[in-house]
Amino acid sequence: MAHSYSSSAILTTTIKFCLLFSLLLGMVSAQLSPTFYATSCPNALSTINSAVNSAVSSEKRMGASLLRLHFHDCFVNGCDASVLLDDNSTFTGEKTAVPNNNSLRGFNVVDTIKSQLENICPGVVSCADILAVAARDSVVALGGTNWTVQLGRRDSTTASLSAANSNIPAPTLNLSGLLSAFSNKGFTAKELVALSGSHTIGQARCTVFRTRIYNETNINSSFATSLKSNCPSTGGDNNLAPLDLTSPTSFDNAYFKNLISNKGLLHSDQQLFNGGSTDSQVNAYSSNSASFLTDFANAMVKMGNLSPLTGTSGQIRTNCRKAN
CA 204 to chain centre: 16
What's the Rg (C-alpha) of the chain? 22
C-alpha angle with apex 214: 263 to 268, nearest 5 degrees? Answer: 50
Contact 310, 32 (CB under 8 A): yes
6 is in an annotated binding site: no
- By CB atoms closer than 10 A (0-12, 13-18, 19+), residue 27 is exposed
C-alpha angle with apex 264: 284 to 245, nearest 5 degrees? Answer: 100
Contact 220, 187 (CB under 8 A): no
73 is in an annotated binding site: yes
86 is in an annotated binding site: no
199 is in an annotated binding site: yes
Which residues make beta-bridge pairs with 319? 322
Active-site pick, 3, 70, 72, 267? 72
- Cβ within 8 Å of residue 253, ≥6 positions away: 197, 200, 285, 286, 288, 289, 292, 293
129 is in an annotated binding site: no
Q: In 3-state terms, what secondary structure has residue 205?
A: strand
200 is in an annotated binding site: yes
111 is in an annotated binding site: no
82 is in an annotated binding site: yes
Specify the amino acid at residue 58.
Answer: S
Q: CB count, 10 Å around CB of 6?
A: 10
The answer to whether 72 is a known catalytic residue is yes
28 is in an annotated binding site: no
Calpha distance 48→132 (Å, rounded): 10
Q: In 3-state terms, what secondary structure has residue 203?
A: strand
Q: Which helix (H) or strand (E) holds 242?
A: strand 240-242
Query: Which residues are known binding-site members for substrate?
Result: 169
Query: Which residues are known binding-site members for Ca(2+)?
Result: 73, 76, 78, 80, 82, 94, 200, 244, 252
As annotated, the active-site residues are: 72
Query: Which residues are known binding-site members?
Result: 73, 76, 78, 80, 82, 94, 169, 199-200, 244, 252
Query: Which residues are known binding-site members for heme b?
Result: 199
